Structure 1
Amino acid sequence: MPLLEVVDARLAGMFQDLPARLHRGQAAYIGPFVADIEAVFDPASNPYFANGEAIRWVLTNEAGQAIGRVAAFLNRDLPTVTDPSLPTGGLGFFECIDDQDAASQLFDAARAWLAARGLQAMDGPVNFGERDRFWGLQIAGFELEPNYGMFWHPPYYQRLFERYGFQVYFKQYTCAREVATPLHPSFAKRAAAFATEQPAYRFAHASKGNPERLAQEFLHVYNLAWGKHSGVKPMEPDQARRLVKQMKPVLDERLLWFAYYNDEPVAFFISLPELNQILKHVGPRLNWWGKLRFVWERWRYQRRRPKKMFGVIYGVVPEHQGKGVDSVMLVYAQQALQGAGYTNIEMNWIGDFNPRMMATMRSIGAKICKTHATYRKLFDETREFERCPVIK
């Protein structure tokens, strides 16, 4: 079967159009924006190209029709790539017919490309970018629509990966709850105690009218709470500004909650309206008609019931962990979310390497609704496989 490197607009179109053709008729399928995928492979848009490389292929049948696709990449700034004991690259954006030979041909291409660059393993499917998008293979919850930035995968993909020799490096859990679900009474008790006994703390949602402040406060908490985790690179100021700019068209400031200690941001709970509930009515290409449709559908969404939100990221600066700051912040946030008309929330995925965050999800009554997996394939099959270390 011919394997073609994507080097022109025609092949990029085949790469983009394959998932919709494969999954047509699946009630839960929502495809991503074409522009979001193309930005990953555009050196002018993706800062990971500054010290990295990427390649993508389309697999065709004898008639020239696309039947599979995959990408391979490495970012030399990531600890997984520079780890001298097991330098590991990435494989992502996999889509394929239900055929092991076709899948294996795609996996072989990625493996050979990475091995030629000194890598000894590959993780996949992952993103040539941050972990909040296009990361993991769906292995449960197929009846549910994907959240924005995540792919929907059919059940047979798991078999294609595992028969090739991929092993689960870590599982990723998406948790959900109804916004109105009462928090445990201890949350309200703690909030009342903070109001009288901890006057140095305050809790407030952000103002989208001051995007620079929002970017700086997000950056501060993110780097202290997440920047030292395995596989996570500290964020740069310009990157935080870009994120705020990208989110601006859909920001609801009532979903952006911060905790402050003596006016220093020490925790956040950042959420957005769940964009796929808008985009599924718009289509994969944001041309002039798509932009008009987006504005209309966003207006309809804000007036819709039920209305779903997406918890993007949650974190507490280490020095303030274990003090109840997160619990109190959620008490304040819940009141605002209900007032804004949101009825349901799904949180961004949490790895099984983070039991503390999973305990937090249980404490607020959230339950696992979808499961993805990040797989790892060792090129030396005699080597002992080790799962992702658990955060202590």
Structure 2
Amino acid sequence: MKHYFLNFLKKSDLSVNELFSSLILCSLMLPRIVNSLAIGLFFIYSIIIFFKYKGTKFRFTKISLFFISFFVICVLSLFWSIDLTASKEGISRIVSFILIPISFSVNYQKIRPLKIFYFFSYFTFFVALLMLLKAIINYFQTKDYHVFFYHNLSNTISDLHAIYFSIFVSFSIFLLLLKDKNKLDLVVTIFLIPFLFLLSSKTVIVISFILWISFFKKNFLFLKKGFIAVITLLLLSSVFFKERIFKEINNSNLIEIFQKENFGWQYKWSGIGIRTLQIRTFYELLNEDDFMLHGYGYNAVREKIIKKHKSYKLYSGMVGIDFHNQYLQLIAEVGLLGLFIILMIFMLSIKKAVTERDLLFFSFSVLLIFVCITEIYLARQRGLVFFVTTTLLFVYGKKIQHKIIKYNK
């Protein structure tokens, strides 16, 4: 068995650390148990290496220590949590904040991030292709074009959330735009760009295009060979996207949402409207309980939100939804210290990316910073594992990488 494993590593040109990292990232698009198993195996392997080889030492970086510190703060919040059961359950879902940094602190050698990200990008393409094929089958069965968009499209594979998969797709496009391209890269990129529109995540699409236009203009030139295909696919995929934009505009009376006392079950909500309501909910809870410094306890705020939502007389499907803003959620659960730790991770990531002129790391960090304004990204396994693993790959990876991720004016 060992012989076959070593032979596989030799043929794939992957180190053991790169193999585990690739498995962790790619398994994010598989059932959650597979991803949990990959993380657990990497951690166990790291512990074995640490005790087997006497010279092995932990090598923590500032960012990895901040990840661990955030987990510690969440555990400490058990002492003041208003819902101990919910806090314990929530903490059990974020152990990756400590397992992955410890694993990398032991296995930080022989890591080539671009090699791992390249595997991840092609696996993302494969999953996206499967989603599209399933959507085509569903369309012939239902005659409903909505099967090609948003959650209807992404949920066909491992119940993937459209927002999370949008980030995977966007990151893959960033990588493919930067690397030396072959014909297959061209095909994959031409496919993924309009597919991102099909997923219809407005924040991811807008931020991605701003970054592409700002930094990747020259890299877009290689798409001229498939320009007609890209434009055609974009036009087709923009139909539903436009529909969602008009719905947002028509169903978003922000002033009314801040002032209205009784919404009722017939009130029409948009994405912007829901997020505005949650800002109001946060503000009113803060005035009532003054939780700014310590929060209610990790994952313990839901009952407070439910009570507030019931006072607005919202329909049952809206009652108890999260803040749809990672920063507000952090303050409500673990206070300003928890928010400070996450902001420090983002700040150090941006600083490292700018210092090393690493466009891929910079784009990844900026994208997540903005996504956290509209989504609870770090409280879900797929979100936090992608964030922690990818960030640490950039941090621990070889500094001398392919020229493609270096931006030269």
Q: TM-score, normalised by structure 1?
A: 0.25
Q: Using structure 2 for the length normalisation, give the TM-score.
A: 0.25
Structure with more strand by fraction? 1
